[in-house]
Amino acid sequence: MKRKDRIKELREKDPVALLKEVKDWRQKIFQTKLENPLKGEKDIHKVRKMKKELAQILTILNEKIDEQERNTPQNS
């Protein structure tokens, strides 16, 4: 799947599904580091790529939260 398509797919998901995905990615990153304690360059790049993907998911999640806060009427 192309990166652009992946981002589009993520934007359409609801925040709860995104949170689950964040949790899954964090687990994957941890597991990769645990299995391969910096064995080689390949693993380092794999973890970096996973962290970038996680950062992107978190950014989209934050956008959704901000959007919901704007749409929720403020009771003062």
15-58 tens-digit pLDDT:
677 778 778 878 887 887 777 666 655 666 777 777 888 888 88
pLDDT for residue 17? 74
Domain tally for the chain?
1
The answer as to whether 25 is a domain residue is yes
The structure's pTM equals: 0.53
The answer as to whether 74 is a domain residue is no
- At residue 3 the predicted structure's pLDDT band, cuts being 50, 70 and 90, is low
Please determine, for residue 59, whether its predicted confidence score (pLDDT) is greater than 80. yes
pLDDT for residue 69? 80
The answer as to whether 3 is a domain residue is no
pLDDT for residue 35? 74
The answer as to whether 30 is a domain residue is yes
Residue 56, number of CB atoms within 10 A of its CB: 15
Query: Domain of 31?
Result: 15-66
